[in-house]
Amino acid sequence: MTTDLTRMRFHSRKWVKPEDLNANGTLFGGSLLRWIDEECTIAAILQLGNERVVTKYMSAIDFVASAWQGDLIELGIGLHGFGRTSITFRCEVRNMVTRDTIISIDTIVFVGLDDQGRPVTHGYTDYTADRDRIPQRRGPIPRAPMPAHLAARAAAQAPEVLTT
């Protein structure tokens, strides 16, 4: 891999707000992991040219420091490489002002799927900063039908519609 592929790119920034905090008054790890997963998902979609990607694996998560209300943090992603149906990233989140690392994850794997939800070969081996891989939507993304017990519960809780 070239240096350009592995270089950490910091694209997203977040402002830590009260609703992002845990009982200790620091950034809730679940919120941070959700932000990381979303950022990496966007990168996987753009690199694989497929809007149907799923998180396959995250390695050990190393919480190095805390973030507090009002902190500005930035999410960095570096590309590890491409597999036959997958793409692998590494991630670092740091305090934007102090540059102190808050969390690091060495391996995050995403897999591209076909319309039936099966892994699909993508054929890419190199990072691109061009827009040529942005997926073109061919139609709505297929959704699995709602299980019958959930559909019945939703119907029972739906407000009554009045007709005249």
Tens place of pLDDT for every residue, the chain, 164 residues?
Answer: 344 556 778 889 999 999 999 999 999 999 999 999 999 999 999 999 999 999 999 999 999 999 999 999 999 999 999 999 999 999 999 999 999 999 999 999 999 999 889 999 999 998 887 777 888 776 666 667 778 887 788 778 777 666 66
Give the sign of the dihedral formed by CA 129, CA 132, CA 133, CA 136. positive
**Cα three-residue angle 83-87-91, rounded to 5 degrees:** 135
- Bridge pairing between strands 61-63 and 72-82: unpaired
Encoding tokens for residue 58? Answer: 């995250």
Encoding tokens for residue 138? Answer: 């061919």
pTM, two decimal places: 0.79
Domain segments of the chain as ranges: 3-157
**What is the pLDDT, as a whole number, of residue 1?**
38
**Which of 155, 88, 149, 156 lies closest to 124, judged by CA?**
88
φ, ψ of residue 20 in degrees (nearest 5): -95, 0
Give the sign of the dihedral formed by CA 56, CA 31, CA 75, CA 49. positive
Taking the C-alpha atoms of residue 74 and residue 66, their distance in angstroms, rounded to an integer, is 13
CATH class, domain 3-157, is alpha beta
**Exposed e or buried b per residue across 57-82, where buried means at least 16 C-beta atoms within 10 angstroms of its C-beta:** ebeeeeeeeebeeebebbbbbbbbeb
**What is the pLDDT, as a whole number, of residue 150?**
77
